[in-house]
Structure 1
Amino acid sequence: MDSGDEPVPLDRLSDRFFKYLFAREEHKDLLIAFLNEVLMDLDPDGSARRIEDVAYGDRESSPLYRDAKLPRFDVVARAEDGRVFHIEVQVAKDPYFLERNLYYAAMTYSLQLRKGEGYHTLSPVIFVGLLDFEVFPSAAQNEDYHSLHRILDVRDHRWAMRGMEFHFLELPKLRRRSAGPRTGLDRLLSYLGNAGGEQVMQELAKVDSRVERMMQLESLFMRDPDLLRDYLKDLRDRLDYENSFKWARTDGLTEGLAKGRAEGEAKGRAEGEAKGRAEGRMAGMEETAAAMLREKIDILLVSKVTGLSLDRLKALQARTEY
């Protein structure tokens, strides 16, 4: 970039930048800090569930069956106690987002065991979704942006089946909050979701060293020509992908309207032709009936032959009499 060029605005939720922050061994402390903030945010026992270290895993799990749908994640990490974390950033709203991540978590859970291993060796799978849309819409102004989902007993809410849990972090709800960031998770997500603008980011960096570090890494990211080129390429591809759907919808609508008009015209022509044929047949039948009536053939017999009602024949008879 030339020094006179405008700085490229960074989407902190982009796939490239998010993985740069959280999926690199040299930045592993940021991932651990983020996961611990998530674990402690809603769980009274969260401090007891803190993690000290993680090992990065394969982001594309092998399918259980040959034709099984292959799960993919932004970050996969296993804690020192065996817990498996799926971390995913989702910007575009997906109508089947919940079903997809339940499927992914269940597949990861089931693929842990090898032949001969006992079920007691299974480790919990914890999904963390950072979402730039609302998956659980709410009418409240200051609704909670973090929701935790587990398999609980419906009567006493006992949590006995601990194999999977799901954390959803809905950034639009965080941005709508009237109060400023309060918890560590608030501060980290405010940075990632750019909640409040750059001035707020500077203020957060003063009180949270992790935000300060992420901002420093952001500066390094933007000055690295290779990272920046890959980021811009991904951004271009994503915009092309989104535009292809937009134009496909527009073209589909235009095509649908044209098809609808053509079908309507064809249907109108067919209905008109059918109506014309029916009216022609009726006119011909009435002409036949009138000729029979002029020949003084009994009106009941004319009705049976032509199918015309007596009332209609009587009206026709009145018109044909001289």
Structure 2
Amino acid sequence: MAKTNDLLDPKNDYVFFRLFSEEPELLIDLINAVRADQPPITEITLLDARLTPERIQGKRLVLDLRGIDEQGRRYNIEIQVRRFPFWASRAMMYLARLYSEQLDAGNDYQEAQPVIGIHLLDFDLFKEEPGDQDNALWRFDTYDHQHSRSLGHIMELNIVELRKADRLGQLPERLSAWIAYFEHWNEDDVMNNLAHPPIQKARAKLRAMSADEQERYWAESRARALSDEVTMLNAARREGREEGREEGDKHARHQTALAMLQGGQLDVATIARYAGISESEVEELADGRAKH
């Protein structure tokens, strides 16, 4: 299988952000491919699409795309390459924040528009229950399935498990093409057989980015930062477990958070997410006020 080894990985969140923020028509096609059973959107206006050095090197390591379509609905689009605890809580928090920002801007509840999350995951999120291995596309919203009643699709989270979707196949042609792009971007024999025009445009964009020395620098910097964060978090967890093993679960979580605080390189929200405690508890630990 012929491979092009010098191409950047489109699943790198920096590459993903650059690709779709600079080519919004590709983002529209991706959104419509994921939500093929819904009326297609025709335009999207991105929010905060600037990439500053501070944002790229930020501690939180989050590069997501946020946008508004022609109907006023708001989107959060991102890619994740690794599974971490409380991922679902984080995803829903981001959607809730996207919704509440409309009220902060002076709108009343009646004017607030639905928010839609599209998260591409390069890992299997669901694998414990029967049938999990037969489905890679998920949609969660405010819907009562027992009585077939909806609150109006106020919040919707679409999840694509990329690896599982690639294994299963038999998906609509356009979505299958995007999945192949993310999973087989460096395999010429696969990519050459994808006739969907947006995929070929995305492929050309990836080649151009990969040939740019500055783009490679930032993409590789992001990859290193993610790797460093994983190493630091794993070390903190091990230290927290060792110190808190005989003191109970809450103590262990606090010890994990303390170890992360001592590292001095992670913010409160990240520590809270990985330690499994609230941000206020992390702040109390940082101030020495928590009882642990």
Equivalent position of 1:31 in the other structure: 27
8 Å contact kept, 1:175–1:195: no
Q: 2:41 aligns with which of 32, 48, 51?
A: 51
Inter-CA distance 194–221: structure 2 relative to 1 (3 Å threshold)? same
Question: Residues 62-101 of structure 1: matches in 2 within 5 Å?
Answer: 74-101=64-91
For 2:210 and 2:76, the matched residues in 1 are separated by 27
TM-score after normalising by structure 2: 0.69
Give RMSD over aligned pairs. Answer: 3.2
Inter-CA distance 213–71: structure 2 relative to 1 (3 Å threshold)? closer
8 Å contact kept, 2:7–2:207: no
State which structure, 1 or 2, has the greater radius of gyration over its C-alpha atoms. Answer: 1
Q: CA deviation at 1:256?
A: 4.5
Inter-CA distance 102–221: structure 2 relative to 1 (3 Å threshold)? same
8 Å contact kept, 2:14–2:63: no
Question: Residues 203-222 of structure 1: matches in 2 within 5 Å?
Answer: 203-204=193-194, 207-222=195-210
Inter-CA distance 14–195: structure 2 relative to 1 (3 Å threshold)? closer
* Matching of residue 243 in structure 1 with residue 241 in structure 2: no
Deviation per CA, 1:232-269, whole angstroms, max 9, x where unpaired? 2222222333334455567x49x949x99xxxxxxxxx
Equivalent position of 1:14 in the other structure: 12
For 2:132 and 2:116, the matched residues in 1 are separated by 28
Q: 2:211 aligns with which of 218, 223, 228?
A: 223
8 Å contact kept, 2:139–2:157: yes
Higher relative contact order (CA 8 A, sep 6+): 2
For 1:55 and 1:233, the matched residues in 2 are separated by 28
For 1:20 and 1:115, the matched residues in 2 are separated by 27
Q: 1:120 aligns with which of 110, 116, 125?
A: 110
What is the identity, as a one-letter code, of the residue corresponding to 1:223?
A
Q: Secondary structure at the match of 2:158?
A: strand
Inter-CA distance 150–181: structure 2 relative to 1 (3 Å threshold)? closer
- Number of residues of Structure 1 aligned to a counterpart in Structure 2: 232
Equivalent position of 1:184 in the other structure: 174
For 1:124 and 1:154, the matched residues in 2 are separated by 19
* Matching of residue 200 in structure 1 with residue 190 in structure 2: yes
Q: Which runs of 5+ in 1 are unaligned?
A: 1-5, 61-69, 261-322
For 1:235 and 1:188, the matched residues in 2 are separated by 22
8 Å contact kept, 1:74–1:88: yes
8 Å contact kept, 2:139–2:158: yes
TM-score after normalising by structure 1: 0.63
Deviation per CA, 1:180-222, whole angstroms, max 9, x where unpaired? 6642011112201228944212211xx1111111111111001
